[in-house]
Amino acid sequence: MTGPYQAGLGDQSLGTSGKEAMATPIFKCVHASDLHLGQVFSGMDQMPVDFLDPLLDAPYLATESIFTAALTEDVDCVLLTGDVLSADELGPRSLVFLVEQCERLAVRGIPVYWALGGDDPPLRWQPASLLPDSVHRLGGKDREILHQLQNGTEIRLLGPSDQRAVVRPGDYPAVEDERISIALGYGSASQDALAELGYHYWALGGVHLRETLSRNPTIHYAGTPQGRSPADSGPRGCTLLEIDAEGLVQTSPIVTDAVRWNTFAVEVDSETSHEALYGMMQEQISRGLVDAASRPLLVTWKINGAGSLVRSLQTEEATARLLAQLNAVDHGGVSVWHVAVEVLRPAEYPAKWYEEETIRGEFLRSLQLVQQEGLSQADWEEHLPCGEEGAEVAARIARQEGIDPELAIKRAADLGVHLLSGEDH
Give the integer Cα–Cα distance in Å for 422 and 425.
6
Is residue 265 predicted with pLDDT exceeding 50? yes
Is residue 169 predicted with pLDDT exceeding 90? yes
Q: Please, which pLDDT band fits residue 315 given cuts at 50, 70 and 90?
A: confident
Is residue 346 predicted with pLDDT exceeding 70? no
Q: How many CB atoms lie within 10 A of CB 62?
A: 28
Q: How many CB atoms lie within 10 A of CB 386?
A: 8
**Residue 8 in contact with residue 239, Cβ under 8 Å?**
no
- What pLDDT, on the 0 to 100 scale, is given for residue 425? 46
Give the integer Cα–Cα distance in Å for 337 and 111.
39
Cα distances (Å, whole numbers) of residue 375 to 264, 313, 379, 381: 32, 28, 6, 11
Least confident of 155-169, 331-345, 383-397: 383-397
Respond yes or no on whether the N-terminal peptide bond of residue 217 is cis (omega within 30° of 0): yes
Is residue 99 predicted with pLDDT exceeding 50? yes
- What pLDDT, on the 0 to 100 scale, is given for residue 18? 39
- What pLDDT, on the 0 to 100 scale, is given for residue 122? 85
Tell me which of 349 and 338 has the higher pLDDT: 338
Q: Which helix (H) or strand (E) holds 149?
A: none
Q: Which CATH class is domain 6-255?
A: alpha beta
Three-state SS string across 71-136, please?
A: HHCCCCEEEEECCCECCCCCCHHHHHHHHHHHHHHHHCCCCEEEECCCCCCCCCCHHHHHCCCCEE
Mean pLDDT, rounded, for 135-158: 93
Q: Please, which pLDDT band fits residue 4 given cuts at 50, 70 and 90?
A: confident
Question: What order do you get walking across the sheet with 211-215 strand by strand?
Answer: 144-148, 154-158, 181-186, 201-205, 218-221, 211-215
Average pLDDT, whole number, for the chain?
86
Q: Where in the chain is the domain with CATH 3.60.21.10?
A: 6-255
Residues 6+ apart with CB under 8 A from 30: 66, 69, 70, 73, 75, 78, 79, 238, 239, 240, 241, 254
Mean pLDDT, rounded, for 395-424: 63
Cα distances (Å, whole numbers) of residue 378 to 302, 316, 389, 396, 412: 26, 22, 18, 12, 13
- Paired with 336 in beta bridges are 297
- What pLDDT, on the 0 to 100 scale, is given for residue 9? 59
Mean pLDDT, rounded, for 379-399: 61
Burial of 411 from C-beta contacts in 10 A (0-12 / 13-18 / 19+) = buried
The number of helices, as runs of H, and strands, as runs of E, in the chain is 10, 17
Tell me which of 387 and 163 has the higher pLDDT: 163
pLDDT tens digits along 83-96: 999 877 788 999 99
pLDDT tens digits along 18-63: 345 677 999 999 999 999 998 888 888 888 888 889 999 999 999 9
Mean pLDDT, rounded, for 380-409: 60
SS3 272: coil
- What pLDDT, on the 0 to 100 scale, is given for residue 307? 80
Is residue 262 predicted with pLDDT exceeding 80? yes
SS3 54: helix
Residue 50, amino acid: D
- What pLDDT, on the 0 to 100 scale, is given for residue 408? 64
**Residue 251 in contact with residue 10, Cβ under 8 Å?**
yes
31-46 as b/e, with b when 16 or more CB fall inside 10 Å?
bbbbbbbbbebeebee
Is residue 232 predicted with pLDDT exceeding 60? yes
